[in-house]
Amino acid sequence: MESAPSLTARRKADTRLAIARAAAARFAEHGASRVTAEAIAAAAGVSLRTFYRYFPTKEDAVAPLLGIGAASWQDALAASPPGDPRTAIPEIIDHLLIPAGDAEREGLRWTRGLLRAMIEDPALRAVWHRVNHDSETRLRAIVAELEGETADPFQVRLLAAAATDAIRIGLEHWSESDADPDGSGGTPAALARRAFAELSSGVSER
């Protein structure tokens, strides 16, 4: 049986997330080039020395926040019924990308700002692509588990890539517009569903 995280571990996790939120908010508002590690540390209420204990660069600071979104996606797929994951993935996309309240809308808005900031910052783009790559790797194991013993490893890899890229492309394309996250037409959910439908169309059914 796994033991609960210690108080010290929880405090470290809270500090790490506070820094990540501060970094994401400032990158989204000002662009990464105009934000310093010192400014992020001050906004998070920590010293610069503490900042660098958690993150090697200012761009790396957003990784935990991006990772939370990826983990939510993985957990939702892992909890779906065994069988062909393609039946569950579009519903999960809607669940994750259609905001249920103000907090979710705000999260999508800072995500849009962050993705726009990445256009001019290669280091920030590298963090985004690393998070997506790690998510795809974890999804392979989940897809294989859902499909069972007859799963084809190559088909599993294709489906995991299609699911990961669908959300990435949906968010990136939406971020180029000023569309509401839960309006009609070009919402992140609608774009991600469309991307998944097209990307997964060549993956053979079981």
Counting as low any pLDDT under 50, the low residues of the chain are 1
Place of tokens 């506070």: 18
Ranges of each domain in the chain: 7-57, 60-199
Specify the pTM: 0.88
- pLDDT, residue 191, reads 95
Q: Which of 111, 103, 133 is nearest to 27 (CA)?
A: 111
- pLDDT, residue 1, reads 47
CB 169 within 8 A of CB 195: yes
- pLDDT, residue 48, reads 97
- pLDDT, residue 60, reads 97
CATH architecture for segment(s) 60-199: Orthogonal Bundle (1.10)
List the CATH code of the domain at 7-57: 1.10.10.60
- pLDDT, residue 7, reads 83
For residue 139, give every residue at least 6 positions away whose Cβ sits within 8 Å of its Cβ, in sequence order, or none. Answer: 73, 74, 77, 160, 163, 164
- pLDDT, residue 155, reads 93
